[in-house]
């Protein structure tokens, strides 16, 4: 399977030469087979897919992501092993890493030289969800005006933060093998 970067540059697809999206757009375990609905299986260029698998034992799972495996865990105090990040940590890591890469991508489009980028994501709990995510951005290189333009451009191309800004449809399809 080709990586998204090999077959589909998802930043450039929605941006013009300056990194401006608005202008560009016109203003289971190995023994349990995964049965993916056809509507999901046939969308390789328009969607991303990961698969999480849990086997009887602690409250942890492995997530397959295009040739990589991530271990996702819970603290020992709630039944996990404490040997991997929690799902909410990975959620925040997705926000921070996507915004970091969007900054670097946008800087390249704008011809800016960066000496370093750090993005910290903090989620504010509200019961069993986050009701706010705050990003703190530190960029070495550009001046204040360039940084403001860079952040605006990154906000336009960051898939994860753009996903969080608008309501999305979340569906759950369940099947039983038993």
Q: How confident is the model at residue 130 (pLDDT cuts 50, 70, 90)?
A: very high
CATH of the domain at 90: 3.30.300.20
Using pLDDT thresholds of 50, 70 and 90, give the confidence band for residue 178: confident
pLDDT over threshold 60, residue 66: yes
Predicted confidence (pLDDT) per residue in 19-52, tens digit: 443 333 333 344 444 444 444 444 456 888 999 9
- Domain span holding position 117: 4-49+86-165
In a domain, 149, yes or no: yes
Question: In this predicted structure, what is the pLDDT of residue 27?
Answer: 33
**What average pLDDT does this structure show over 39-67?**
83
Is 176 within the bounds of a domain?
no
Residue 139 has pLDDT above 90, yes or no: yes
* Number of domains composing the chain: 1
Classify 133 as helix, strand or coil: strand
Instruction: Tell me the torsion sign for CA atoms 129, 134, 137, 143.
Output: positive
> Considering the domain boundaries, does residue 73 fall inside one?
no
Cα–Cα distances (Å) from 2 to 8, 95, 113, in that order, read: 9, 23, 30
User: Quick check: is 71 in a domain?
Assistant: no
How far apart are the two ends of the chain, measured CA to CA in Å?
31
Residues in the chain: 178
**How high is the pLDDT of residue 8?**
40
Asked if the structure places residue 111 within a domain, the reply is yes
Half-sphere CA count of 38, side-chain side, radius 13 A: 0
For residues 8 and 114, the model is more confident at 114
């Amino acid at each position: 399977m080709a990586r998204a970067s090999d077959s589909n540059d998802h930043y450039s697809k929605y941006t013009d030469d300056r990194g401006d999206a608005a202008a560009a757009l016109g203003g289971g375990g190995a023994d349990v087979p995964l049965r993916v609905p056809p509507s999901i299986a046939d969308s390789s260029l328009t969607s991303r897919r990961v698969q999480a698998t849990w086997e009887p034992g602690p409250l942890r799972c492995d997530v397959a992501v295009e040739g990589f495996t991530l271990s996702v865990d819970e603290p020992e105090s709630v039944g996990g092993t404490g040997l991997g990040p929690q799902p909410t940590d990975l959620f925040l890591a997705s926000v921070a890493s996507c915004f970091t890469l969007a900054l670097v991508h946008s800087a390249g489009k704008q011809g800016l030289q960066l000496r370093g980028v750090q993005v910290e994501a903090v989620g504010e709990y509200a019961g069993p969800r986050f009701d706010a995510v705050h990003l703190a951005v530190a960029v070495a290189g550009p001046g204040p005006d360039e940084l403001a333009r860079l952040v605006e451009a990154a906000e336009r191309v960051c898939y994860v933060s753009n996903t969080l800004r608008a309501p999305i449809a979340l569906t759950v399809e369940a099947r039983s093998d038993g």
